[in-house]
Chain A
Amino acid sequence: MTSDTLKKTPLCESCQKAGGKMVDFHGWYLPVQFNSIIAEHKAVREKAGMFDVSHMGQVFVEGPDAWHFLQYMNTNNIKNTPPCGTYSHITDEQGHIIDDAISFCLTPEKFLVVVNAACIDTDVAWFKKHAEKFNVKITNDSAHWGMIALQGPEAVTHAEKLIAGVSEMPRFTIKEIELYGAKGYVTRTGYTGEDGVEIMLPAEAIVTLWNDLLQAGVAPCGLGARDVLRLEAGYLLNGVDADGNQTPYEAACGWVVKLTKEDFVGRVALQAQKEAGLKSRLTGFVLTAAGVPRGGCKILKDGAEIGRLTSGTYSPLFKGIAVGYAPAELAEGAEVEIEVHGRKIPAQKVKTPFYKNRV
């Protein structure tokens, strides 16, 4: 695919101007890095960095049944008090993960659901398929919104200068804003393991915001740094760490399944799996010798393959880190080997997240 046929965000030109090395990411033309992934990682862990996440989807769910509908579509208990957001999984009848998303309560009858870029069409179709039994309106508003994730220990200070009150917002809340003459939203969320915000604004305003943050010294960061940061923080990458064949339990996200709440899609299957126990589970590994693990690498125990990695990288903080599906009974601290380019590298099972700092 050439860059001409790829989808572009309103910040595409700004990213290129800032030196972004552009790649095809699920059909989107996005920066994988600016100057150096290691420098961008450091900026987010120590100061502040920003990511163009305009490719992510915004779906509004409105109507008298909005909350009941989202309760039915999500495994987690969705909060119905503004301005709260709830991270949850959306599963099919088999309990397999379709997407992970955050539902923000704007009013008890209006929610903003922020979904993964690659899942927008699937999620909207899935919502609409189940909406008939509910008095609810579903609007895919993704094309209207640009979005910047501003992350790092200094992120909120930067945001506060532009949007008064951000520093008072609790984690996982949303606030309606007006900035550069446009209406938008700010949420106290992120995908890096640091404090920060995500700001949604229409195209023209999001470009102004990008430029103002650049001026203020915020480092532009790409998908490469984002992947290292999220893996360190133990966040699931849907489509990679879950490919449509795993449940939230298997993906080590059992905490988002609330079997005791009202009925939801996938509940019966998830209840059954919980009772039967798990065969395999997404498991964290740290290499104990030099090397860089990657998705697809074999996990070996006593020479035999026991699973495959789904994600792996070089972490500036922890060196070779990875997650992959391994037998659920594998003990904490168990010694395994990861096969990288035919080389067997010793590794150890560890608890995730690898990085347990701020949020």
Chain B
Amino acid sequence: MHTAENSKYCKTHEWAYLEGDIATVGISEHAQQEIGDIVFIDLPKVGQQVTAGQNCCVIESVKSASEIYAPMSGEIVEVNEALGTDPALVNRSAHTEGWLFKIKVSAPAEYDGLLDLKAYQETI
């Protein structure tokens, strides 16, 4: 199971957890705190192709809209349906239950380019 410790990070505050060729993606605890009360998430579509670094999701809080970038390239194979009725799940559990979507990755080597938790925390 993905946790803050065993995931890898983008400087733009997304985390990814790679298992086989499936990367689960979410936002960091720091990011959810900065964003505040999350009220709506415009998730990508299953089947959509995404490219690492590309905007593919929007998280709306009361005060702002935040673009979420794909940490790795590939195809969206699953989105977290629970967020449709309970987007604040990301506030409560950013690293586990509040994951956003899963990518079937096309370039697993991209994972090595992401930051570990310690390196990410140094960028905050």
Contacts and interface: CB of A to CB of B under 8 A. Distances in A.
Interface of A: 32-33, 36-38, 224, 227-228, 290-292, 294, 313-314, 340-341, 343
Interface residues of B, number: 12
A224 B61 CA distance: 11
Main secondary structure of the interface of B (DSSP, over half): strand
B78 to A, nearest CB: 20
Interface in B35-84: 36-37, 39-40, 42, 58, 60-63, 65, 84
A36 B32 CA distance: 12
Contact of A314 (B40, B42, B58): B40
A32 B61 CA distance: 13
Contacts of A32: 63
A291 B60 contact: yes
A340 B60 CA distance: 11
Given A292-B60, A292-B65, A37 B37 contact: yes
A37 B62 contact: yes
B104 to A, nearest CB: 25
A276 B19 CA distance: 68
Main secondary structure of the interface of A (DSSP, over half): mixed
25 contacts: A32-B63, A33-B36, A37-B36, A37-B37, A37-B62, A38-B37, A38-B62, A224-B62, A228-B62, A290-B40, A290-B84, A291-B40, A291-B60, A292-B39, A292-B60, A292-B65, A294-B65, A313-B62, A314-B39, A314-B40, A314-B60, A341-B42, A341-B58, A341-B65, A343-B42
A343 B40 CA distance: 13
A33 B36 CA distance: 9
Given A292-B65, A341-B65, A36 B39 contact: no
Interface in B1-42: 36-37, 39-40, 42
A33 B37 CA distance: 11
A192 to B, nearest CB: 15
